[in-house]
């Protein structure tokens, strides 16, 4: 039997898999959602670095309980096609996929989300907040803590070094300026960055700051005619790349 082709897939969470600002949703019961939204806005638009806002976010999240995090992880809304894309990749008969949620979202939430919604089959790289909510089985899936935007690039580089995917089968999906390092790292690794319904700051950086040879390897996925984001377009992009590069169907 021939070996399966290998693929590495990395995706952001906030604004990419889910329309929610997960930081704000977690602290909504404490009346702190607006403060959390302001901090997220500051780093996703490039006003502040994530490392600068992280201690403030951690302080705001001190009242989040195990039950609150689990309940939210179970009910978190996802963009159309997001769950199907992950399940299709994880269950592909022709590919061996290493998939990671690579995000600045809190690791406590991201790891619980991984278990509750995907049976702990994904890897997770996330900010080191609410770790006290996690059991050993969750922490085994946490491959790196994310404390700066550049960490997403390091996560991708590490997974490629360990998993050794087929040439070109490396992907990172993200929506804000904080995802620029991950998107460009995917391009550097001869893969594809996927800017999913990108914010203005990310589009501007891709156009004016990113090296042309790398930005050309970043695909931009825009909302549909109805203005709604559709993660199915991410799956279609990957499906086409796999067919083009390997001649395989997902």
* Tokens 């790349």 belong to residue: 241
User: Which pair of tokens denotes residue 190?
Assistant: 């001869």
**91 shares its domain with 202:** yes
- pLDDT for the residue numbered 224: 85
Q: H or E element: which one contains 11? A: strand 5-11
Mean pLDDT, the chain, as a whole number?
96
- pLDDT for the residue numbered 1: 43
- The answer to the question of residue 157 being in a domain is yes
Q: For residue 35, give its domain range.
A: 23-73
Q: Specify whether the CB–CB gap between 71 and 105 falls below 8 A.
A: no
**87 shares its domain with 169:** yes
**218 shares its domain with 99:** yes
> What is the per-residue pLDDT across 145-169, written as a single tens digit (0 to 9) for each?
999 989 999 999 999 999 999 999 9
**56 shares its domain with 157:** no
**85 shares its domain with 67:** no
- The answer to the question of residue 113 being in a domain is no
* Confidence tier at 48 by pLDDT (50, 70, 90): very high
* Confidence tier at 2 by pLDDT (50, 70, 90): low
**183 shares its domain with 82:** yes
**Total residue count of the chain as it appears in this document:** 250
> What is the per-residue pLDDT across 89-130, written as a single tens digit (0 to 9) for each?
999 999 999 999 999 999 999 999 999 999 999 999 999 999
- The answer to the question of residue 130 being in a domain is no
- pLDDT for the residue numbered 3: 78
* C-alpha distances out from residue 138 to 29, 66, 102, 132, 165, Å: 25, 13, 15, 11, 25
* C-alpha distances out from residue 6 to 135, 145, 160, 199, 207, Å: 29, 24, 10, 31, 31
- pLDDT for the residue numbered 197: 97
- The answer to the question of residue 101 being in a domain is yes
DSSP-derived pairing of the beta strands 142-145 and 123-127? parallel
- The answer to the question of residue 167 being in a domain is yes
- pLDDT for the residue numbered 225: 86
Q: What total of structural domains would you count in the chain?
A: 2
Rg (CA), the chain: 17
What sign has the CA pseudo-torsion 101, 235, 206, 217? positive
> What is the per-residue pLDDT across 5-20, written as a single tens digit (0 to 9) for each?
999 999 999 999 999 9
**164 shares its domain with 47:** no
**164 shares its domain with 92:** yes
**45 shares its domain with 12:** no
- The answer to the question of residue 135 being in a domain is no
- The answer to the question of residue 41 being in a domain is yes
Q: Domain of 225: which CATH number?
A: 3.40.50.1000
**83 shares its domain with 169:** yes
- The answer to the question of residue 134 being in a domain is no
Cα of 20 vs its chain's centroid, Å: 13
What sign has the CA pseudo-torsion 114, 29, 66, 37? positive
User: Which pair of tokens denotes residue 105?
Assistant: 């979202």
**89 shares its domain with 63:** no
Provide the terminal-to-terminal Cα distance of the chain, rounded to the nearest Å: 18
* Whether residue 176 has pLDDT greater than 50: yes
User: Which pair of tokens denotes residue 119?
Assistant: 């049976």
**61 shares its domain with 82:** no
């Amino acid at each position: 039997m021939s070996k399966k082709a290998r693929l590495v897939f990395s995706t952001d969470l906030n604004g990419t898999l889910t329309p929610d600002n997960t930081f704000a949703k977690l602290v909504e019961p404490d009346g702190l959602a607006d403060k959390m939204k302001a901090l997220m806005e500051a780093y996703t638009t490039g006003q502040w670095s994530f490392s600068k806002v992280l201690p403030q976010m951690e302080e705001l999240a001190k009242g989040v309980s195990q039950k609150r995090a689990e309940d939210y992880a179970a009910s978190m809304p996802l963009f159309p096609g997001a769950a199907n894309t992950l399940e299709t990749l994880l269950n592909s008969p022709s590919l061996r996929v290493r998939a990671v949620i690579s995000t600045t979202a809190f690791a406590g939430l991201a790891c619980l989300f991984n278990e509750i919604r995907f049976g702990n089959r994904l890897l997770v790289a996330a900010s080191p907040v609410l770790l006290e909510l996690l059991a050993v089985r969750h922490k085994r899936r946490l491959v790196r803590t994310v404390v700066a935007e550049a960490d997403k690039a390091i996560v991708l580089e590490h997974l490629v070094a360990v998993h050794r995917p087929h040439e070109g089968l490396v992907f990172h999906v993200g929506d804000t300026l904080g995802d620029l390092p991950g998107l460009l790292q995917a391009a550097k690794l001869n893969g594809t960055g996927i800017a999913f319904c990108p914010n203005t700051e990310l589009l501007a950086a891709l156009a004016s700051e990113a090296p042309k040879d790398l930005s050309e390897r970043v695909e931009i996925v825009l909302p549909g005619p109805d203005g709604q984001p559709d993660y199915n377009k991410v799956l279609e992009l990957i499906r086409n790349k796999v067919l083009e590069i390997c001649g395989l169907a997902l």
